[in-house]
Amino acid sequence: MAELTEQIAIVTGAGRGIGEAISKRLAALGATVVLVARNTARLAQVKREIENAGGRAETASVDLLHEGAIDTLAGFIKVRHGRCDILVNNAGIGAMGKPLHETAPGIWDAVMATNLRAPFLMIRALAPLMIAASRGHIINISSLAGHNPLRNGAAYAASKWGLNGLTYSVAEELRDFGIRVSAVAPGSVHTEFGGSGADDSWKIQPEDVANIVAMIVTQSPHSFVSEVLVRPARKR
């Protein structure tokens, strides 16, 4: 039996990049993966690929900026599955290329809403299912930018610093319920998120991040990983 058989995993930003890789890896381990994003076409494609590989997946088109949509998703999960074993908050956006004093407030708000408020809302909506079961994993995909200054990317960096603080604090709140909360903080990953250059071979691959998530959710029940920092093997 696969290690995650009969478990329900929810992955946001599952239509591409890191979220897609994580979803496929969890499905390969036996979980039923609920793929969450706004792009229904991409979700359907990822679902087909998971099923063609022998896995199980469902899709949920959700706008993570809307509290009501997240509450509806949580209600659906409760009725359909009655449990949530794994929540991966992966969806994120960037706002690079301008100093903070040239950044429009609307851009700041959008970054914070997607990268920080949405994980809060997802945890708020789904943690009760984990508390009822006295078990669960919550994994927030952060960034090395959450530990370091990021010139011309202050809004993004601030959102990830905030996500780290949220992760550490929620881990303390939920550990007594048997719920483990972790952060994975990669550097430059070879996805569409950060754009592409002439040679991206030096970057971390999405599958590298997915393997770390798999390690976290299959670890011994006697411990939990607070955070994993992931760096490219070589510098550009």
The answer to whether residues 182 and 136 touch, using CB atoms and an 8 Å cutoff, is no
**Bridge partners (DSSP) listed for residue 33:** 9, 57
Distance between CA atoms of residues 12 and 118, nearest Å: 10
Residue partners of 109: CB distance under 8 A and separation at least 6: none
Active site residue 156: yes
Q: Which H, E and C letters describe 70-108, residue by residue?
A: HHHHHHHHHHHCCCCCEEEECCCCCCCCCCHHHCCHHHH
Q: Which of 33, 62, 95, 156 is catalytic?
A: 156
Beta partners for 204?
189
State the DSSP string of 97-154: SS-GGGS-HHHHHHHHIIIIIHHHHHHHHHHHHHHHHT-EEEEEE--GGGTS--TT-H
Supply angle C-alpha 59, 62, 64, rounded to 5. Answer: 135
Catalytic residue annotation: 156
